[in-house]
Amino acid sequence: MARIVGGFGISHTPSMGMEYDKGMAKGFDPRWQKWFDGTRAVKAWLEKIRPERLVIVYNDHLNHFDFDAYPTLAIGVAPSFRQADEGWGPRPFPSLVGDVDLGWHLTNRLVRGGYDLTVCQDLAVDHGIYSWFPYLFDTPWDIPIVPLAINMVRHPIPTNERLHGLGKALGEAIRSFPGDQRTVVISTGGMSHQISGARFGIANEALDEFFLSKIKDDVQELVDIPQEEMMRLGGTEASELAIWFSMRGALSDNLVERHRYYTFPAITGCGVIVLEEKAA
């Protein structure tokens, strides 16, 4: 059976990716140098834990799906996932390698467990993954992934409980996959921010820090907070924090926190927390 050796939650934002490209070419802006430095421990953990595959729960930002057809839950099942062009041309990174066998296995288990998935055999991935991936993984990117895309754009969005339950079902499905593959589960969603309306630019660093402090041992306390309250306190897009419940649900309660970091370079809170299974 496949083994989940740990997981992490991490922010994403378009500027995170653009600042990486500029920073590696000409040096980082001091605000983004803090984020680069704060992710070094995550990269080191991944190099130590040596995952053989990744399952990544993220959200698309109208770069593959659009309002004509926007699924609530979608899974990528393909040999590779190309980079979406978000309007400024492709960045100098390769496509992501897909894990077709694990993808179909998860699809069958999750659908039969009550989670109706849109299956994408062609999927372009945007900054939901590409913004932070280069900080943590050196090219060539040969570690296979299975991406799960969550609707966080068109309301009604899935509830906190639904995404936490999805994580639990995902964990069971991964563990039932034949073999002994070391698997890391990742959830990525922006922390406090709002990118539209009169409250554009709102952030709540205290809320972000509170979230990071609770997700390991008190996740149900976070799940019980109404999404409307999270959006009131942290901006409309703070609802993306619900995606992190999928990572936490996939893990056991027998965890060690290996790293936690938070900073606020601009517009969006940038945080990460790494949780390792003690059995790993």
In whole angstroms, give the CA distance from residue 37 to residue 35: 5
How far, in Å, are 52, 147, 174, 176 from residue 1 at the CA level?
13, 20, 8, 6
Q: What is the DSSP string of 166-214?
A: HHHHHHHHHHTSSS--EEEEEEE---S---SSTTTT---HHHHHHHHHH
Residue in 64, 105, 127, 164 annotated catalytic = 127
Residue in 12, 64, 105, 193 annotated catalytic = 193
Verify whether residue 127 is a known catalytic residue.
yes
Q: Where are the alpha helices (DSSP H) in 95-159?
A: 100-112, 127-130, 133-136
Peptide bond between residue 134 and the one before it cis (omega within 30 degrees of 0): no
Helix (H, G, I), strand (E, B) or coil at 100: helix
In whole angstroms, give the CA distance from residue 46 to residue 27: 24
Helix (H) or strand (E) holding 230: helix 227-234
Verify whether residue 155 is a known catalytic residue.
no
Q: Which residues are catalytic?
A: 127, 193
